[in-house]
Amino acid sequence: MPDVHADPEKLRQFARQLGRSADQLQQVTRELSRALDRSGWEDAERHKFEDDFKQTLKNLSRFTDKLKGEYVPALVKKAAFLDQYRG
């Protein structure tokens, strides 16, 4: 492998930060969804808003799932590989 320009510990720190951020995003989306339910807003505009809002929440959910299911493990794996490579 040619030059390696990454610090394994910093990659692990970044992976942890991504995981925490994903958890925080999931918590915020739950809170926002509950807040909308408690708003008492009931008209045609609310339903249009809610449809768009729910789609946005789905997109965020896919993003957080990808962070936790793909990006975090990939960074941890890369860090372990670099540790091994550097000996």
Angle, helices 72-86/8-38, rounded to nearest 10 degrees? 170
Tens digit of each residue's pLDDT (9 = 90 or more) over 52-79: 999 999 999 999 999 999 999 999 999 9
Residue 30 domain-assigned?
yes
How far apart (Å, rounded) are the C-alpha atoms in residues 15 and 13?
5
User: Which helix H or strand E contains 3, and what residues bound it?
Assistant: none
At 2 the three-state DSSP class reads: coil
Residue 3 domain-assigned?
no
Residue 1 domain-assigned?
no
Residue 39 domain-assigned?
no
Q: What residue numbers bound the domain in which 68 lies? A: 8-34+44-86
Task: Give the length of the chain.
Answer: 87
Residues 80 and 8: beta-carbon distance below 8 Å: yes
Domain count, the chain: 1
pLDDT of 1 > 60? The answer is no
**pTM score of the predicted model:** 0.84
How far apart (Å, rounded) are the C-alpha atoms in residues 53 and 37?
12
Residue 81 domain-assigned?
yes
